[in-house]
Amino acid sequence: MAVTTLVGAPAASAEVDITSQDLGLGDAITFFGDRDTSTLTLAVPPGTAPEAMLARVETPPDAAGGWIDVHSAGRLLSRTEFSAPAPADDAPPEILTPVVLPLSGAELGNGEATVELRTTVVPAETECFTFWDRPTATLRDIIVRYSGDEAQPPGISEFLPPALRQLTIALPAEPSESEVSAAIAIAAAVTHRYRAHNVRVDVQPLADRRDIPDLPIELLSRRVIVTEAAETELELLPLDNQVATLRVAGSGPELANQARLLSNNLLALATGTSLAISGDVTVPRIAPRATTLSELGLSGLTATGVGRVAVSIPLDQTRIGFDAAEARVGVKGAYTPLPTVMNGRITARIGDREVGSWPMTADGRIDEQITIPRSLLTRFSTLTMTAEIAGESLACGRQQPVTLTIDSASTIEFDEATPPPPIFDSLPQAFIPTVHAALPELSFGNADRLISIVTGLQRQSATPFHTEITTAGVQTGLPSILIVDENTAVPLPLPLETSGTAFLAESADGVVTLDLGTGEAPPYGALQVAQNGNALALVASGDNTLLDTLITWLDDDPARWAGLNGNVVVQLPQGEPQVLSIGATEATAADGDTETTMRLVVTGALVALAAGIVTAAVIGLRRRGTAKPQHRPEG
């Protein structure tokens, strides 16, 4: 590997490595064709400067190597050459080549550095690559190395850094409703602000409301202490050798008002170390049911290539604030007209399912209507528009490239699903703009569980949602998060419950029983999606220790929250949590096949559940008519 650095900077006193996930850049950066460009915006913690990007380059088998140029503000900072790995006789083939891309000298501003990576990849045997739909270079295992030491914030306006790894929220061991509400608001606001980052939110108990526990400085970490007090104030505490700490204080509703500053643009004006604000808490705005790509923040939807060109349109239901039953897209755009010796088609796909197709014409214009049914819509769907060209081709390197552009004035209209399907994929959009959280009591443990659930859902949402707390129980017909105290009956029918001796799985056509022959059903902790009138409820119930184990497992990898499917995730005393789909596909059964489908889905889920409890068990499945499952008894 050869590296040429054209713009340099003096070495700093320390080095800090931050992963691409912590910087919100994702797991990989892909490049197509023999030449391609990717523009990156790097968060730069105060007191540091980016020095290099460390990565490994993955190339296809027919690539000989190439180089990567780094540009910033119109200047070439560095050029790094790489070669495809040579095969080894006594070892498996290595497909990744380590590279170090110098970033020293990148222009900095507003806590960010924008750099442009330009790849040139050389084919091994031909003059150009013969495929158009696969990357020619992919950067993986990316780390950005910074020089310097992270500076601590001098004022409230700098309290939240450009990138954040860890937020600690300190709550009294016996919190009030106002303190829990404020803590939820802070956790949700920070999670939404750093949605693309892997921010971990921890909750720390306070022995009393004047307590300030020790918490050593860690890279990209912050702490907020939430306490009710007579005075209303936000204060950046002057702590030596401690993580930067903001104290949020107030009485009753004023406490939540102080907390909401962390999600307000006015934070930039808070240059001092203390202040107080007043005003009403606002409900988050959501997009209208009929909107344009531009209004959804989607622009620059264009691509250029040879043979096959694709443009992706993200359809994010969390931007519209409800679960969609159908989407209609009025696609407008343009493409390079083809010469007479060639022809092609424009296709529209969701995944591998085609939802529209039409021939490319001489005017090079697109103006089509596409209908996407509920069966193809998920929380995040991608509509891929592809121009596929066929016909007489020229010699390698002489083919005319085709540019495909989707106009940001293209329209999208959604129909709301009422009620939304009771599955994880309907969340969090079914909780926007407001979800009601019902707690059995105001305890530190319940606050900790609720914060984890809200941040796990908020991390998946492009729109912030508001959480209202109550201890009066779940309200029928309202979007709800329900935390149920162990040994307490659940006021809603759930997909999975116990009778004390067996597991019960509810179906619209009856109840299936899983009797393990052990005399009693084992303890478990679960998160389940249930119908609550025309709304949905996410119910956290079961043994508190196992429920906490389940929530911790979800928090340990943010992708686990987004990857939940079905309607139940359950933690048993042994093994990892299991994700189940109980009765979730009944609506798709053909006439006369409802019972068969119910048996397949429910029985399969319960057999999987049984496998997690015992290696061998006597499993009795019996129909019990249309009776509803019993709730777990007390004791």
Residue 314, burial from CB neighbour count under 10 angstroms (0-12, 13-18, 19+): middle
Three-class SS string for 458-514? HCCCCCCCEEEEECCCCCCCCCEEEECCCCCCCCCCCCEEECCCCEEEEECCEEEEE
Q: Using the 8-state DSSP alphabet, how is residue 22 labeled?
A: T
- Quote the CA–CA distance of 507 and 603 in Å, as a whole number: 11
Query: What is the mean predicted confidence (pLDDT) over 296-309?
Result: 85
User: Is 442's pLDDT higher than 60?
Assistant: yes
Higher pLDDT residue, 322 or 53? Answer: 53
Helix, strand, coil shares of the chain as percentages rounded to 5? 15, 40, 45
Higher pLDDT residue, 30 or 340? Answer: 30
Phi and psi at residue 282, in whole multiples of 5°?
A: -95, 150
Is the CA virtual torsion 15, 20, 23, 25 positive or negative?
A: positive
- Quote the CA–CA distance of 541 and 45 in Å, as a whole number: 41
pLDDT tens-place string over residues 521-530: 788 999 999 9
User: Is 42's pLDDT higher than 80?
Assistant: yes
pLDDT tens-place string over residues 564-604: 999 999 999 989 999 999 875 433 333 344 333 334 445 55
The reported pTM is: 0.85
What interhelical angle do 544-556 and 444-458 show, nearest 10? 30
Under the banding of pLDDT at 50, 70 and 90, the label for residue 619 is very low
| Region class of 533: left (phi > 0), else alpha (psi between -120 and 50), else beta | left
User: Is 349's pLDDT higher than 90?
Assistant: yes
Angle at 432 between CA 428 and CA 437, to 5 degrees: 80
pLDDT tens-place string over residues 173-213: 999 999 999 999 999 999 999 998 889 999 999 988 888 89
Under the banding of pLDDT at 50, 70 and 90, the label for residue 516 is low
Q: Which residues pair with 371 in a beta bridge?
A: 328
Q: Is the peptide bond before 419 cis (omega within 30 degrees of 0)?
A: yes
Q: What is the structure's pLDDT at 210?
A: 85
Query: What is the mean predicted confidence (pLDDT) over 480-490?
Result: 88
Residues 6+ apart with CB under 8 A from 556: none
Query: What is the mean predicted confidence (pLDDT) over 290-310?
Result: 87
- Quote the CA–CA distance of 25 and 236 in Å, as a whole number: 30
Lowest-confidence pick of 35-49, 87-101, 608-622:
608-622
Is the CA virtual torsion 221, 556, 41, 17 positive or negative?
A: positive
What proportion of the chain, given as a percentage, has pLDDT over 90? 58
Q: What is the structure's pLDDT at 7?
A: 42
User: Is 110's pLDDT higher than 50?
Assistant: yes
Give the burial string for 600-635 (b: 16+ CB within 10 Å, else e): ebbbebbeebbebbeeeeebeeeeeeeeebebbeee
- Quote the CA–CA distance of 519 and 319 in Å, as a whole number: 48
User: Is 631's pLDDT higher than 60?
Assistant: no
- Quote the CA–CA distance of 103 and 115 in Å, as a whole number: 8
Query: What is the mean predicted confidence (pLDDT) over 13-25?
Result: 87
Kindly state the greatest CA–CA separation across the chain. Answer: 80
- Quote the CA–CA distance of 63 and 126 in Å, as a whole number: 10
Kindly give the residue spans of alpha helices, DSSP state H, lying in 306-443.
none
Closest CA to 410 of 305, 299, 316: 299
pLDDT tens-place string over residues 129-180: 766 668 899 999 999 999 998 999 999 989 999 999 999 999 999 999 999 9
Cβ count near 534 (within 10 Å): 13
Lowest-confidence pick of 284-293, 427-436, 446-455:
284-293
Q: What is the structure's pLDDT at 14?
A: 73
Q: What is the structure's pLDDT at 594?
A: 39
